[in-house]
Structure 1
Amino acid sequence: LRWDGDRARFNHEPGPLVYTVHPVTGAALSLGFGRLARLRPEYGYPSLTDEHPDDPSPSNDGVWRVDRGGEHLIISIDQLDRITADGSERAGGELHQHVNHLMFNPSGTRFCFMHRFVRTDGILHSRLFTSDLEGKDIRLLFEGLVSHYDWRDDETILAWAGKRSLLGSANAEKTPAQHAMTIARRGLKPVYYAMGKPRFLMNKIMKDSYLLIRDVDVRSPNAPEPEPFAKDELTCDGHCTFNRGGDEPGRWVLTDGYPDMKSRQPLFLWDCHNNRGYEIGRYHTPRELDGDIRVDLHPRFNQDATLVCIDSAMDGKRGMYVVDVSPLTQGES
């Protein structure tokens, strides 16, 4: 996907790579795909190389604004590294860092993204940021574990997240209990994988959960605490997304889950109006597709929230499937 004239399209001509485009304003953002390929291979492009492989937090890579004039760096990784909530000089320091998961808010006035690095204890540390389109008003919203997310509205993000205090912070000295938990985590990881990676355990043990996070910097004296969402109901990490169209935009949330012990991926629908959840189905996925190469459902709504499109390998190859949810989204009041 490249920027071509006044729109993004697929072509083979040289030009800036585009990560995301706002559907109404046409604003486009990008990031260092070569660095992403080195640090998170499942997300980057293997044909690209990191231009700064020896720099843990480069000042000339990060988030880019893309327009007809080309690419313009608006936020550097070095900037993000210097933003801390605990008074530390740097968040990652000598640890190699990257950005990922850029996403515009509904109106296109701001976007969110993650600043990430692997800690010395092997834990992936995620920091959820937002910014205006000029990279001037940068806000740190949350850090610890942040996985998948979506904007509910222009001021609120729904995210699977957790502070993971049991494992300690990125910079502070661990307590004996935190050291013990970190060691236990390493030892139990093979068992966790053998069980089919039951993500509800992360909810029960690490207290990860879906949270509604306001677009307010945690360094602000009036920063609100995240609000639990679908507590004790949606208890596993998934690719959450709100409906943007239909009679009631923002009423419905789609999310999925990772394969269970029978290699089935679940699809869930949550009604924010009635605080009620539905399991739409479970879809087989080949066991060998459980690494960097995998097929997550990635559910998304059509314009009126009557149909859901999912990715799946249920028939032995990657495909796109449509699921009718209109009896629920059109029948509930």
Structure 2
Amino acid sequence: MMPLPSRRSFLQGLAATALARSLQAQDALKYPRIRAITRGPKFHWFGYYDKFQFDPTGRFVLGNQVDFESRSPQPEDKIQVGMVDLQDGDKWIELGETHAWNWQQGCMLQWLPGSANEVMWNDREGDHFVCHILNVQTGAKRTLPTPVYTVSPDGRWGLAPDFRRLNDCRPGYGYAGIPDPNRDKLTPDDAGIWKIDMKTGESKLLITFAEIAAVPWEMEGGYGRNAKNWFNHLLFNQDGSRFIFLHRWRAEDEKISTFHTRMFTVNADGSDRYVIDPSGFTSHFVWRDPKHVFLYTYHPSHQQRFYVFTDKTREFEAVGPDVMTVNGHNTYLPGTNNEWVLNDTYPDKANLQHVFLYHVPTGRRVPLADLESKPPYRGEWRCDTHPRSSHDGHFVCVDSAHAGGRQMYLIDVRGLV
């Protein structure tokens, strides 16, 4: 027969149990509420972080649906595009399909800026890529004869890189099915960045690879031997007066995983081009306002960190250099006057992707979720969380494969900011 515990040890046991429960409760309060808004057997994700995923009311959340994972898209592979109704049991509403997509950015599915009921996505028709624009209320649909990457804030103009060349130079960002006619050319003069009239579909070649490659790289060593050039990551500023694009290249003796980058800003008509970041390391970015860019890059002052650069100058400031120490997908939370940054990380040594908020005035970091991401979610078909917020800044949506297959998850941040 076991002896009964003494009163002292009994009270100590009660205290230890109470402490453990208290710590568990504190840990539970550490993270806001998160819920899956899509479910299997099919997989769902949205993709990049600089597109409107939520409609203006916050009720509908766009997403892509696919029935396989862990391999590159083939020309015959198609996916469904749709939206989740958050006010009707997270019901999936199918909107269409596409043969032009990738794992990182989907098919550029997004709500058309300035519209409360139109969505857009890219597709492939025959030997060319197109962009569909669908009114989700009436079902009216029109198709532009060219794909679109990003749209001006008023919804009037679009921009597009050469998705054929992207698929050749950076798998995971272009579209399969149409080979690059300039595959063997280092700096083509008949391709680059197009500007598209979102009403008529008319397009104009605004900037060519040859023009940008002719701008000397000011860093030591230059481009390298036989460097092949491409463009990616286009984004208008908040008043539509200028946009960003990344000029990337890879020398002939460098691995497919190696490339160099410099960031250009340019007027909406293609004029007044400025190399705002010549470092060669430019990564994720958004505009803070029409004259400032918030980006992750290298600078001698703090090495690889987040910075705010002033356009057309060499003025800069580091953002969270002691807190946001690793690369992530950074945006500003709407409705907070740019005081709150929404960000994430790539998987760390424990295979965790950290989604968090960062308060610029105080330097405070607020965790939102720590989501497991194990192999095979690496490389081209990795599942980055790419946090995106609703227009009012109340909710955040992320992609994650922590439960065994990529799905979309909603995080309520109303009580945090």
TM-score tier after normalising by the smaller chain length: 0.7 to 0.9
Contact 1:63 1:76 in 2 (8 A): yes
Are 1:33 and 2:123 matched, yes or no? Answer: no
- Report the more deviating stretch, 142-151 or 83-92: 83-92
What is the match of residue 77 of structure 1? 209
1:248-267 correspondence to structure 2 within 5 Å: 248-267=336-355
What is the match of residue 273 of structure 2? 138
Q: 1:48 aligns with which of 178, 189, 194?
A: 178
What is the match of residue 233 of structure 1? 323
What is the match of residue 400 of structure 2? 312
Q: CA deviation at 1:318?
A: 1.6
Q: CA deviation at 1:50?
A: 0.9
Separation (CA, whole Å) in 2 of partners of 1:274 and 1:116 = 35
What is the match of residue 370 of structure 2? 282
Residue type at the aligned position of 1:211: Y
Q: 1:157 aligns with which of 293, 301, 310?
A: 293
What is the match of residue 304 of structure 2? 208
What SS class does the counterpart of residue 215 from structure 2 fall into?
Answer: coil
* Larger RCO: 1 or 2 (CA < 8 Å, sep 6+): 2
Gapped regions of structure 1 (runs ≥ 5): 166-202, 217-222
What SS class does the counterpart of residue 147 from structure 1 fall into?
Answer: coil
Residue type at the aligned position of 1:130: T
Separation (CA, whole Å) in 1 of partners of 2:344 and 2:149 = 23
CA deviations on 1:11-32 (whole Å, 9 max, x unpaired) are 6665201111234343211010
- What do you get for the CA RMSD once the two structures are aligned? 2.7
1:54-69 correspondence to structure 2 within 5 Å: 54-67=184-197, 68-69=200-201
Q: CA deviation at 1:85?
A: 5.2
CA deviations on 1:182-237 (whole Å, 9 max, x unpaired) are xxxxxxxxxxxxxxxxxxxxx8xxx2111111111xxxxxx324321111110000
Separation (CA, whole Å) in 2 of partners of 1:87 and 1:315 = 44
Work out which of the two has the higher radius of gyration on C-alpha atoms and give 1 or 2: 2
CA deviations on 1:32-65 (whole Å, 9 max, x unpaired) are 0010000001111121211101111111111110
Gapped regions of structure 2 (runs ≥ 5): 1-106, 131-144
What SS class does the counterpart of residue 416 from structure 2 fall into?
Answer: helix
What SS class does the counterpart of residue 146 from structure 1 fall into?
Answer: coil
What SS class does the counterpart of residue 304 from structure 1 fall into?
Answer: coil
Distance verdict in 2 for CA 1:88–1:134, change over 3 Å: farther
What is the match of residue 293 of structure 1? 381
What is the match of residue 9 of structure 1? 120
Separation (CA, whole Å) in 1 of partners of 2:304 and 2:235 = 22
- Report the more deviating stretch, 312-321 or 12-21: 12-21
What SS class does the counterpart of residue 78 from structure 1 fall into?
Answer: helix
Are 1:103 and 2:235 matched, yes or no? Answer: yes
- Report the more deviating stretch, 290-299 or 64-73: 64-73
Contact 1:82 1:90 in 2 (8 A): no
Q: CA deviation at 1:91?
A: 4.6
CA deviations on 1:155-204 (whole Å, 9 max, x unpaired) are 11111101589xxxxxxxxxxxxxxxxxxxxxxxxxxxxxxxxxxxxx8x
Distance verdict in 2 for CA 1:84–1:295, change over 3 Å: same
Separation (CA, whole Å) in 2 of partners of 1:231 and 1:106 = 26
Contact 1:149 1:160 in 2 (8 A): yes
Normalised to the residue count of structure 1, the TM-score between the two structures is: 0.77
Tell me how many residue pairs correspond in the alignment: 280
Separation (CA, whole Å) in 1 of partners of 2:349 and 2:212 = 39
Separation (CA, whole Å) in 2 of partners of 1:89 and 1:276 = 40
Contact 2:153 2:236 in 1 (8 A): no
Separation (CA, whole Å) in 1 of partners of 2:211 and 2:194 = 13
Contact 1:81 1:92 in 2 (8 A): no
Separation (CA, whole Å) in 1 of partners of 2:394 and 2:295 = 24
Contact 2:323 2:363 in 1 (8 A): no
Identity of aligned residues (%): 31
Residue type at the aligned position of 1:135: G
Normalised to the residue count of structure 2, the TM-score between the two structures is: 0.62
Contact 2:319 2:360 in 1 (8 A): no
Separation (CA, whole Å) in 2 of partners of 1:267 and 1:261 = 16
Separation (CA, whole Å) in 2 of partners of 1:151 and 1:92 = 30
What is the match of residue 117 of structure 1? 249
- Report the more deviating stretch, 83-92 or 117-126: 83-92
Separation (CA, whole Å) in 2 of partners of 1:12 and 1:40 = 19
Contact 1:114 1:127 in 2 (8 A): yes
Contact 1:313 1:319 in 2 (8 A): yes
Residue type at the aligned position of 1:283: L
Contact 1:109 1:132 in 2 (8 A): yes
Q: CA deviation at 1:262?
A: 2.3
